[in-house]
Amino acid sequence: MPIEPPPSRYELPPPSGADADGIVGIGADLEPGTVLGAYRTGLFPMRVASGGPLAWWSPDPRGVLPLDGFHVSRTLRRSAGRFSVTIDTAFRAVMMACADPVRPHGWIDASFVDGYCLLHDLGWAHSVEVWSDLGELVGGVYGIAIGGLFAGESMFHRTTDASKVALMTLVERLSAGGGVLFDVQWTTDHLVSLGAVDLAREHYLSRLADALARPQLHLS
């Protein structure tokens, strides 16, 4: 079971206080207690822009990926056979790949990598790694698991379909391991093509409360 850290010394604002962009506040820190408290409230941390201030977000609508609605094509199933997939064997490497500064709209910096790696050490943050037949890390996804919630943070790929295979594996593990809510923050055209949908904030918060009341999910 994950180790509960000391509570945050900050009191984050409620999701209802979000501005038009979905920001509820600026500042605080990325200590484990702060980050977990935010997710349990319905918030998540992200910098306003690369090098910008740390902000706490509650977008309306909120993107989620229904576990029974993930679109898996026959092509993707065939493509999955080209890779091997592991869970929680290279968390920092996945985060570093997601933080690659050459990626568009990059905002993940060393403070996020260090903060989420600490959450990984405590058993709250998890990664799915996709490897080529040469043993190279070519795709992955990471996020936070609390109760029946999985809050997806970022994913990457270095070869075609690698991130989709990571996401497909994650959905399968969540479905089998007690997950009931897969939060993807915002929908994008890519995520919508895979089955992601928008939820109004109040609907998301209701779903979140149910997910947090569930037993801790397992990915392995």
Q: What confidence score (pLDDT) does residue 105 get?
A: 67
- Please check whether residues 73 and 93 belong to one and the same domain: yes
Q: What confidence score (pLDDT) does residue 51 get?
A: 81
Which residues constitute the domain of residue 30?
A: 15-57
CATH code (residue 160): 3.40.630.70
Count structural domains, the chain. 2
Q: What confidence score (pLDDT) does residue 103 get?
A: 76
**Hey, what are 119's tokens?**
């959450």
Evaluate whether 38 touches 56 at the Cβ level (below 8 Å).
yes
Q: What confidence score (pLDDT) does residue 107 get?
A: 82
Q: What confidence score (pLDDT) does residue 59 get?
A: 97
Encode pLDDT of 114-160 as tens digits.
999 999 999 999 999 999 999 999 999 999 999 999 999 999 999 99
- Please check whether residues 70 and 34 belong to one and the same domain: no
Evaluate whether 177 touches 71 at the Cβ level (below 8 Å).
no
Angle subtended at Cα 56 by Cα 211 and Cα 143, rounded to the nearest 5 degrees: 50
- Please check whether residues 95 and 192 belong to one and the same domain: yes
Q: What confidence score (pLDDT) does residue 72 get?
A: 86
In a domain, 198, yes or no: yes
Strand segments (E) across 117-180: 125-131, 137-146, 149-157
- Please check whether residues 114 and 182 belong to one and the same domain: yes
pTM of the model: 0.96
- Please check whether residues 75 and 153 belong to one and the same domain: yes
- Please check whether residues 43 and 78 belong to one and the same domain: no
**Segments of the chain with pLDDT less than 50:** none
Helix, strand, coil tally for the chain in percent (to 5): 35, 25, 45
- Please check whether residues 97 and 187 belong to one and the same domain: yes
Q: What confidence score (pLDDT) does residue 73 get?
A: 87
Q: What confidence score (pLDDT) does residue 194 get?
A: 93
- Please check whether residues 107 and 141 belong to one and the same domain: yes
In a domain, 196, yes or no: yes
- Please check whether residues 43 and 97 belong to one and the same domain: no
